Homo-oligomer: A and B are copies of this chain.
Amino acid sequence: MAARSYGQYCGVTSAVELVGERWALLILRDLLVGPRRYTDLKQGLPKIPTNILSARLKELQEGGVVRRVPLARCGLVYELTDYGRAFEPIMLALGRWGFQAMGDPQEGDAVTPDSLTMALRTSFRPDRAIDGDYELHVGDVALRAQVRGDALAVTQLAPPAPPVGGALPSGEAEGVIVAGPGIRRLIGGEISPAEARDQGVVDLRRGDPELLERFARTFRIDRLPSAPVDASTATPTLS
């Protein structure tokens, strides 16, 4: 039951047939954070119908992107194959590209632990990273981001259980950054760390004020030469 074919013999087409169906890329996004159970995925994608989740997981398995792994004691998880993991750089680039088009959140938009984890990864700049150990809260999602050299490790805290097989970082982070969705403007470089604090976009709940500067330098998505028009304010596309 292969996906509806586009009728072309081409690499892009193959890729789109593998992961281009509705919801598939978001499932992939979450699986790039780590193996997940069916229920985890459902929670991380609150609006996905369960039959679609089933169908996509089946298709992704048939495509060799995802593997179904029974767990030792109970249950099972879905995890990426090597081929699926090879999609990571594309996903990160996609996240950066899409970041440029993010407006303000719509009513009811969720920020999930996995989406925020990937957002940190997409905005992470190995080339200009400064070592640091941050605790970041957005909504009720809490993350620990540890930067050492050009490496980033993100751990999910509290509400959802820590990732399978992942060890909780010992000790405390250097500081706690509590933010709303406006943190997008900090990461996007629209406002400086100082402005972000003044405008209440972020709140440094604990730690040295300089920590925020480090954060803003380490996690940053530069605007394109010509940024897209925000769809909500775009001039109506008329013939």
Contact = CB atoms under 8 A, between A and B. Distances in A.
A26 B10 CA distance: 10
Contacts of A221: 11
Interface residues of A, number: 72
Contact of A8 (B26, B82, B94, B224): B26
Nearest to A98: B15
Contacts of A87: 97
A2 interface: yes
Contacts of A9: 102, 105-106, 109-111, 115, 181
A7 B95 contact: no
A26 B6 contact: yes
A8 B115 CA distance: 8
A25 B14 contact: no
Given A20-B25, A231-B2, A237-B58, A96 B11 contact: yes
Interface stretch (A61-69, A127-135, A208-216): A61-69
Contacts of A118: 10-12
B225 A7 contact: no
Contact of A98 (B11, B25, B224, B237): B11
Given A47-B6, A58-B237, A98-B13, A83 B115 contact: no
Contacts of A234: 62, 64
Contacts of A93: 89-90, 93
Contacts of A147: none
Interface string A101-118: 110011011111001101
A38 interface: no
A13 B17 CA distance: 18
A72 interface: no
15 contacts: A6-B23, A7-B108, A9-B111, A10-B111, A11-B102, A11-B119, A12-B25, A12-B29, A12-B94, A13-B115, A14-B99, A62-B237, A64-B231, A68-B237, A93-B93
